[in-house]
Structure 1
Amino acid sequence: MKQFFLGAMFAFVLAAPVAAQNLVTNDGFEDGLNGWTQVGNFGTGYNYVTCPGDCAMQEGNFQEQGLAGISQQLATTAGDYYQISLDWMATGVNDTSGLQFDIFWNGGLVGQILGDNYIGVYTPLSYTVAGIGNDLLTIEGFSSSGYNRFDHVSVVHTDAPPPNAAVPEPASWALMLGGFALVGGVLRTRRRSVAFI
């Protein structure tokens, strides 16, 4: 009986989920921009890491200065799914038309905020993407009256496919079911004709 309980405890420990490893280096910007590459018009505006306390990246280009941001190459596995997560806030006032915040995965836009005004409150953002191996995460934007501030950037392995994965349209389902019915009818007719011979 004692061996049973020890075996059950051992199996439980082995079956316990392991926390997914964050692939992003310097995800909280405590080490400045170490591990990140400046992209876009980074040098033209007020783009920097802000500390003390909880460090965060701030993008402060004006709209006419264009997009500025950072990127990082990540060691991923082709065909696997990954969850991009980060906390974002706008610090400007009335940025209804002068704010843009973009998240790219291998150059493809996966998330965008236009003209929001979340003053002083972090909003969690999350996106699921498919890896192709050695993927590039890019985060960029501009804010005419303040900053796009973001922190706690993570990319972790997940088993869930992206929510926008291809789902057949109702017309496709109808066509497929009609095809099955037609094949079934042909097979049934064939059996009857063989029975009459």
Structure 2
Amino acid sequence: MQQRQLGPFQVSAIGLGCMNICHAYGAPVSEQQAERVLLAALDAGVTHFDTAALYGFGASETLVGKYLAKHRTRFTLASKCGMQGVPNADGVKVRVIDGRPDTIKATCEASLKRLQTDVIDLYYLHRWDKQVPIEESVGALGDLVRAGKIRSVGLSEVSAHTLRKAHAEHPIAALQTEYSLWTRNPEIAVLQACRELGVSFVAFSPVARGFL
């Protein structure tokens, strides 16, 4: 399979987004189906697996950990923080954006346990919490790098201006944004900023969420 550079890592040009095994589009697949998808992707040469604390409120990370942990040396693992499920007054989990440093660090610890690994290769700020300066959130991610919990820092769905501010606080390895049949917004400024800063660009939903 063709390779590409993702921050400090060499990965397959096509990665596997692990959201749909438990979250978002239609009913979640069975655990057996999720296992088959994850292992088939690995056997097909996929070496970039992307999940998040938000997906299934931890379920995606749990499945990735359960079925891929024993193959950990064979792939680059990406996950995300800053957006997760928090119980509301009725005890129902709802999506919350929270980029406070303490929350980011606690989310990382929980993700490491679910993923059954000691370190996450690429850890994204899933969404920028605009109540928290981007430098503070990225500073916390830099602390996680220094602590050996993560190997590199990524951002998701931010502007070129925010990317530059974040990169000045701590080197950003990758920026993930939708770049698909439905949207070409990264062409406005984000792609150029990534080129200038040496940040890898990761396009999600490139074929428009299975529309074709």
Q: TM-score, with normalisation over the residues of structure 2?
A: 0.24
Q: Which has the larger radius of gyration?
A: 1
The one of the two structures with greater contact order (alpha-carbon pairs below 8 A, sep at least 6) is 1
Flag the structure with higher helix content. Answer: 2
Flag the structure with higher strand content. Answer: 1
